[in-house]
Amino acid sequence: CGEDKILATETINYFLDPEGAETFPQLVDRAKRLLTHIETLTKDLSTDSSILLVTHGDFGKMLYAAYYDIPWEDVLRQFHFGNSEVLLLSNDSSPDKAHVFETQQFNA
């Protein structure tokens, strides 16, 4: 992999064009479709309802990017989303306040 196909951050190196795998732009598109589907399913729920999604870190970050309309590259650099961490997506929370509730990671 050339350096132009790797985005290095403080905690992880992201491969941007992995052979046979989804790219980050494709993940963002899938996240947008999921958010639209959730919106359709929940349109009749009260506004104070909550939804819990469980996902892998990279897709969770792309959900964050799609929800707050932030470029995926910026989100990859913004924070690490590790195993068992929680990310808040809310109309009442700005992107800078929606960061994860972190847990200690032992796989670093």
Q: How confident is the model at residue 94 (pLDDT cuts 50, 70, 90)?
A: confident
Q: What average pLDDT does the structure give for the chain?
A: 86
pTM equals 0.83
Q: What does residue 39 show for φ and ψ, rounded to 5 degrees?
A: -60, -40
Give the SS3 label for residue 8: strand
Average pLDDT in the 34-39 region?
A: 95
Give the count of beta carbons closer than 10 Å to the beta carbon of residue 65: 23
Residue-wise pLDDT tens digits, 42-80:
888 877 778 888 888 899 999 999 999 999 999 999 888
Name which of 49, 51, 58 is nearest 16 in CA terms.
58
The owner of tokens 């905690």 is: 11
